């Protein structure tokens, strides 16, 4: 049986909003940064001008060296209609930052990124329209379930405990910076996600504060499975012990191909809310954003999901822009949110 839904002391207003309307999450941070054409000097700033490794492409570092860029992107999404903005921390773990020689900067990156998002969310919040900051927790470039060596199936380049420690450090920084919730996203390896969930649970037990968690997987091909081999239903049953505020799918295939999988998730995850923020279709290097779908196409696809009763949270991932989010927000606003059923345990207690 499920335990009762936890009482959140942070992000409580979001839980209330999800039962009343379809909430909108923002679009791609990386797509917006890439469109600016920033150079190596922008990423380095004065502080890292003598760093021995190339830093261009380390988007998370911009929270320290170009906070104005990150803030402006948050503002664009908030003005487009986003209720939730994600922190610029997808790769801000010590594990991911090792590639740049900046593992020791991970916590500071998370604090700064959360502070930037918090400031802009607060500026755009009103009593009738609160805005929320989601601490973005990405999968890291390493996998605990899959061997990096085709000749040694048992080989691993990261352990569960290493992932747990890195995620704990990241989450501590995000909380310190002022996030309202955590979003464990773009999950291609459920074991990595379990390490993040374990770290978050440890942190919340130690601090005595319950913070909402959204868990979002990535279906990597038309087989309907995530990279570590689980179907959507199996993925849900592997993470439901975390009692997430919402579970969903993001990135990967785009909304057109994602439809049967979000429909399945909406059916099996009956006692939680459902989120969906797909890419703007499939990658296309010839297009302006690197992806095919226009805001009108992506908006229409997510409107179909809303009309069909699949959604509580809608937004965009790679290739989406403020124009995509504005179109999504407009189209889903006329539909009622998917109804969540109370966990069996709660029903029995109340009876």
313, β-bridge pairs:
23, 275
292 in Cβ contact with 298 (< 8 Å) = no
Q: What are phi and psi of 65, to 5 degrees?
A: -100, -30
Check residue 350 and give its pLDDT.
Answer: 38
Tens digits of per-residue pLDDT, 215-272?
999 998 878 899 888 999 999 999 999 999 999 999 988 899 999 999 999 999 999 9
pLDDT for the residue numbered 349: 34
The mean per-residue pLDDT over the stretch 64-70 comes to: 98
Residue 3: the pLDDT is: 45
Bigger pLDDT: 340 vs 100: 100
Q: Where are the beta strands (DSSP E) in the chain?
A: 23-24, 84-86, 132-137, 181-187, 213-217, 246-251, 273-278, 313-314
Confidence of residue 346 (pLDDT cuts 50, 70, 90): very low
Question: What's the mean per-residue pLDDT of the chain?
Answer: 92
The whole-number pLDDT of residue 9 equals 67
Cα 216–chain centre separation: 7
* pLDDT exceeds cutoff 60 at 330: yes
pLDDT at 344: 39
Give the pLDDT of residue 2: 45
In a domain, 259, yes or no: yes
Answer whether residue 18 is part of any domain.
yes
C-alpha closest to that of 143 among 195, 106, 202, 198: 195
Question: Would 97 be classed as within a structural domain?
Answer: yes
Strand partners, 24: 314
**Which residues, other chains included, contact 282 with Cβ-Cβ below 8 Å and sequence gap of 6+?**
253, 254, 291, 292
Percent of the chain with pLDDT over 70: 95
What per-residue confidence (pLDDT) applies to 6? 57
Average pLDDT over residues 97-119: 98
SS3 content of the chain, % helix, strand, coil (to 5): 45, 15, 40
CATH number of the domain encompassing residue 84:
3.20.20.330
Least Cα distance to 234 among 263, 197, 265 occurs for 265
Question: What integer pLDDT is reported at residue 221 of this predicted model?
Answer: 81
Q: Does residue 46 fall inside a structural domain?
A: no
Q: Which helix (H) or strand (E) is 165 found in, with range?
A: helix 160-177
Is 38 within a domain?
no
* Least confident stretch, 125-134, 187-196, 280-289, 293-302: 280-289
Of 164-178, 250-264, 305-319, where does mean pLDDT reach its minimum? 250-264
Choose between 286 and 167: higher pLDDT.
167
For residue 192, count CB atoms less than 10 angstroms from its CB and return exposed for 0-12, middle for 13-18, buried for 19 or more: buried
Q: What's the token pair of residue 83?
A: 């209720």
In a domain? residue 47:
no
Buried b (16+ CB within 10 A) or exposed e, 110-131: bbbbbbbbbbbbeebeeeeebb
- Residues 249 and 201 sit within 8 Å (Cβ to Cβ): no
Which tens digits make up the pLDDT trace of 83-92? Answer: 999 999 999 9
**Assigned domain for 53 exists:** no
Q: What torsion, rounded to 10 degrees, do the Cα atoms 115, 117, 123, 129 define?
A: -130
| Enclosing H/E stretch for 122 | helix 106-124
Q: How many domains does the chain have?
A: 1
* Per-residue pLDDT, 320: 97
Residue 42 maps to a domain? no
- pLDDT tens track for 138-156: 999 999 988 888 888 888 8
Per-residue model confidence (pLDDT) at position 108: 98
Using a pLDDT cut of 90, give the percent of the chain over it: 81
Q: What is residue 345's predicted lDDT score, i.e. its pLDDT? A: 36
pLDDT digits (tens, 9 = 90+) for 27-40: 999 999 999 999 99
Identify the pLDDT of residue 101. Answer: 98
- Expressed as residue numbers, the domain containing 319 is 12-30+67-350
**Which residue in 160, 182, 162, 163 sits closest to 172, CA to CA?**
182
Of 63-67, 95-99, 205-209, 243-247, the poorest mean pLDDT is in 205-209
């Amino acid at each position: 049986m499920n335990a009762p839904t936890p009482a959140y002391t942070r992000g409580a207003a979001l839980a209330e909003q999800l039962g009343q309307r379809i909430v909108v999450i923002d679009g791609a941070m990386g797509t917006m940064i890439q469109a600016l054409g920033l150079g190596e000097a922008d990423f380095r700033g004065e502080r890292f001008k003598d760093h021995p490794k190339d830093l261009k492409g380390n988007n998370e570092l911009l929270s320290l060296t170009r906070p104005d860029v990150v803030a402006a992107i948050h503002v664009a999404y908030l003005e487009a209609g986003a209720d939730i903005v994600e922190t610029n921390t997808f790769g801000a773990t010590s594990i991911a930052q090792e590639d740049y020689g900046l593992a020791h900067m991970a916590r500071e990156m998370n604090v700064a990124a959360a502070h930037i998002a918090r400031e802009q969310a607060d500026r755009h919040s009103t009593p009738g329209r609160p805005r929320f900051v989601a601490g973005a927790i990405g999968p890291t470039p390493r996998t605990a379930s899959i061997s990096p060596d085709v000749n040694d199936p048992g080989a691993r380049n990261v352990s569960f405990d290493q992932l747990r420690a890195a995620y704990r450090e990241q989450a501590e920084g995000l909380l310190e910076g002022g996030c309202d919730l955590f979003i464990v996203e773009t999950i291609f390896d459920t074991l990595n996600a379990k390490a993040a969930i374990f770290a978050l649970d440890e942190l919340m037990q130690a601090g005595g504060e319950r913070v909402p968690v959204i868990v979002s997987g990535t279906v990597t091909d038309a087989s309907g499975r995530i990279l570590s081999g689980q179907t959507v239903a199996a993925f849900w049953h592997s993470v439901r012990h975390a009692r997430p505020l919402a579970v969903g799918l993001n990135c990967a295939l785009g909304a057109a191909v994602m439809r049967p999988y979000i429909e399945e998730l909406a059916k099996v995850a009956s006692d939680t809310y459902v989120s969906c923020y797909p890419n703007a279709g499939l990658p296309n290097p010839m297009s302006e954003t690197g992806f095919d779908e226009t805001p009108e196409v992506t908006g229409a696809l997510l409107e179909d999901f809303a009309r069909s009763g699949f959604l509580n949270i809608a937004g965009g991932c790679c290739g989406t822009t403020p124009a995509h989010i504005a179109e999504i927000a407009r189209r889903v606003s006329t539909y009622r949110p998917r109804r969540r059923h109370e966990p069996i345990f709660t029903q029995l207690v109340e009876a």
